[in-house]
Amino acid sequence: MPDSQHSVHNRLAVLRTERGLSRRQLADKLGINYQTIGYIERGDYNPSLELALTIAELFRLPIEAIFSLKPMTPLSEEIFREPPEATR
């Protein structure tokens, strides 16, 4: 796969576990093969925009909360992060 294929990071594994879904269950909801979920979670496959949007819709989260071009920080860190000065 081209190098650009490795530049998308995701939180799929965390979100799936949090909602108590197995790969198979999530795959069935998305209409894909369960192994594809594993490949996405491992970062070996970047989903199409359509699939990424479907995943975001399923988790009821904005797409940028699941997929990012930058490495993902832990969710807890993001939740308890101090807001920037300008927005206070």
Partner 1 sequence: MNTTLSREIEYLPQSRRRLLVAVALAGYPVAVAALAGLKHTSVNRWLILAVFLLLLMPTLVTLAVGYRYARGRIDGRCARLDGRRVRLDERDLALRQQAYALSHRVLTVILIAATAITEIYLTSGNTLQLDANTFWLAAMWVIVYLPALPSLMLAWIETDQPADA
Binding site for partner 1 (CB under 8 A): 1, 22-24, 31-39, 41-42, 44-45, 47-48, 51
Residue 3 to residue 59: CA distance in whole angstroms: 28
Nearest approach, Cβ of residue 70 and partner 1 (Å): 23
Shorter beta-carbon distance to partner 1: residue 20 or 84: 20
Q: What is the DSSP string of 70-84?
A: SPPPPHHHHHTPPPP
Nearest approach, Cβ of residue 57 and partner 1 (Å): 16
